[in-house]
Amino acid sequence: MQILTPHVYWAQRHGEIFLRVELSDAKNLNIWLQENTLQFSAQGHGAKGDNEYMFSLEFLEPVRPEINHKSTQRQVDIKVKKQVERWWDRLTLQEKKPVFLAPDFDRWLDESDAEMELQAKEEEKINRINVESRVRKDPYLGLKKGYLFMYNLVQFLGFSWIFVNMTVRLFILGQDSFYDTFHTTADMMYFCQMMAVLEVINPLLGLVRTGFFPALIQVTGRNVILFVIFGSLEEMQNQPAVFFVFYLWSSIEIFRYPFYMLACIGTEWKLLTWLRYSLWIPLYPLGTISEAVAVIQSLPIFDETRRFSLPLPAALGQSLSFSYILQIYLVLMFLGLFINFRHLYKQRRRRYRSRKRKVQ
């Protein structure tokens, strides 16, 4: 039998060297370190058929004496640990690359990619430790998750009922359904939006990692529209604006709440996550515009009815119409839209950046 050299492919990380020896069905494997030189010999099927194959590699820098190897039907994988965690300029001490050696492009990373991989691993380790210590430290974790799951389930059912009801009525009645949305769905919307106040309380109690202020803007903004504009003015209740506002609100919530429910049980559906973190992009501005239309339509009604008008000292006139306060509120709405749009954009970036890192 001839003695031949197999093809060897290599790649490195800061702490390790990976070698892949192209030798199938390897037998009589002998791999050892002599000083800082890896010696390899085995019988197997390589580039020159069934033969005995050998090679040696003197490493550029010191490596640890223990060697891990695994022989499969197709190849022999060898892992060597570096003595010092450092990026090497090349594999071997000799500057000229041995002819049988080539980069392993399946595993190849350049230094900065390897650093990112290391960083991602570190972050994952820290996250795991954090989660484990939270689980160990918090005896009420199960109770909290149970409460959140139930809350999200109830909201999901409520908003789904509204969404399905409105969709069915739209199909059956067409545009006529615009005018009685309030009378058919308002009770459920009152219930869901009153429950939504918990979304401001939850971050205060440390139950969720939501920003308190974005949640406050969201819940207050919607409740002003629901209770003050639609709820207190009968004249507004049969306006098509109700249809658009309710439809846009429920369109996001039928995806957001199931997304949270899955998060409570540590599961994720990629499509649902994408919908939760993408649908707001068209829906949020459209929702705000519909709400603004409703506010603008209500201004003359508040002027006429003097509802909620503020009494003024006699010298200044009789009373200040509530419509002036609503005009200030209109400006606040677009400020609120800006704050929450930026918040949701950051949440989206955070979610997809950390997921991308995990995938790499």
Ligand X SMILES: CCCCCCCCCCCCC[C@@H](O)CC(=O)SCCNC(=O)CCNC(=O)[C@H](O)C(C)(C)COP(=O)(O)OP(=O)(O)OC[C@H]1O[C@@H](n2cnc3c(N)ncnc32)[C@H](O)[C@@H]1OP(=O)(O)O
* Catalytic residue annotation: 284, 291
Enumerate helices (H) and strands (E) in the chain, giving the number of each: 9, 11
For residue 140, how many other CB atoms are within 10 A of its CB?
A: 10
Report how far residue 59's alpha carbon sits from residue 92's, in angstroms, rounded to the nearest whole number. 4
Round the CA-based radius of gyration of the chain to a whole number and report it.
33
Binding string, residues 122-151; x marks residues near ligand X by CB under 6 A: --------------------------x---
| DSSP, res 307 | T
What does the block give as tokens for 69?
Answer: 């190897």
Query: Is residue 215 a contact residue for ligand X (CB under 6 A)?
Result: yes
Query: Is residue 323 a contact residue for ligand X (CB under 6 A)?
Result: no
Q: Which of residues 8-47 bind ligand X (CB under 6 A)?
A: none
- Determine contact, residues 52/3, Cβ cutoff 8 Å: yes
- How would you classify the pairing of strands 37-46 and 319-320? unpaired
Query: Is residue 278 a contact residue for ligand X (CB under 6 A)?
Result: no
Select from 33, 170, 262, 283 the one that contacts ligand X (CB under 6 A): 283
Select from 90, 118, 167, 211 the one that contacts ligand X (CB under 6 A): 211
Query: Is residue 188 a contact residue for ligand X (CB under 6 A)?
Result: no
Distance (Å) of CA 279 to CA 18, 50, 170, 274, 297: 44, 60, 21, 8, 27
Residue 23: CB minimum distance to ligand X, A? 46
Query: Is residue 221 a contact residue for ligand X (CB under 6 A)?
Result: yes
Select from 159, 214, 228, 242 the one that contacts ligand X (CB under 6 A): 214
Choice between 76 and 248, CB closer to ligand X = 248
Select from 218, 239, 273, 298 the one that contacts ligand X (CB under 6 A): 218
Residues across the chain: 360
Binding range to ligand X, per CB under 6 A, among 136-144, 236-244, 278-286, 305-313: 278-286
Binding string, residues 148-187; x marks residues near ligand X by CB under 6 A: x---x-----------------------------------
Choice between 129 and 173, CB closer to ligand X = 129
Q: What is the largest CA-CA distance in the chain?
A: 115
- Spacing of C-alpha 200 from chain mean position: 21
Is the Cα torsion angle 117, 118, 123, 128 positive or negative in sign? positive
Site size for ligand X (CB under 6 A): 34
Query: Is residue 250 a contact residue for ligand X (CB under 6 A)?
Result: no
Choice between 99 and 265, CB closer to ligand X = 265
Binding string, residues 258-277; x marks residues near ligand X by CB under 6 A: --x--xx-------------
Residue 98: CB minimum distance to ligand X, A? 49
Query: Is residue 288 a contact residue for ligand X (CB under 6 A)?
Result: yes
Binding range to ligand X, per CB under 6 A, among 25-33, 170-178, 281-289, 312-320: 281-289
Report how far residue 92's alpha carbon sits from residue 49's, in angstroms, rounded to the nearest whole number. 27
Choice between 118 and 279, CB closer to ligand X = 279
Instruction: Please enumerate, as own/partner, the contacts of 250-255 that have beta carbons within 8 Å and a separation of 24 or more.
Output: 250/159, 250/160, 250/162, 250/163, 250/166, 251/163, 251/279, 251/283, 252/279, 252/280, 252/283, 253/155, 253/156, 253/159, 253/192, 254/156, 254/159, 254/160, 254/163, 255/279
**Residue for token pair 């009525």:** 169
- Determine contact, residues 53/42, Cβ cutoff 8 Å: yes
- Contact residues for ligand X, defined by CB under 6 A: 148, 152, 208-211, 214-218, 220-222, 248-249, 252, 256, 260, 263-264, 280, 283-284, 287-288, 291, 332-333, 336-337, 340, 344, 347
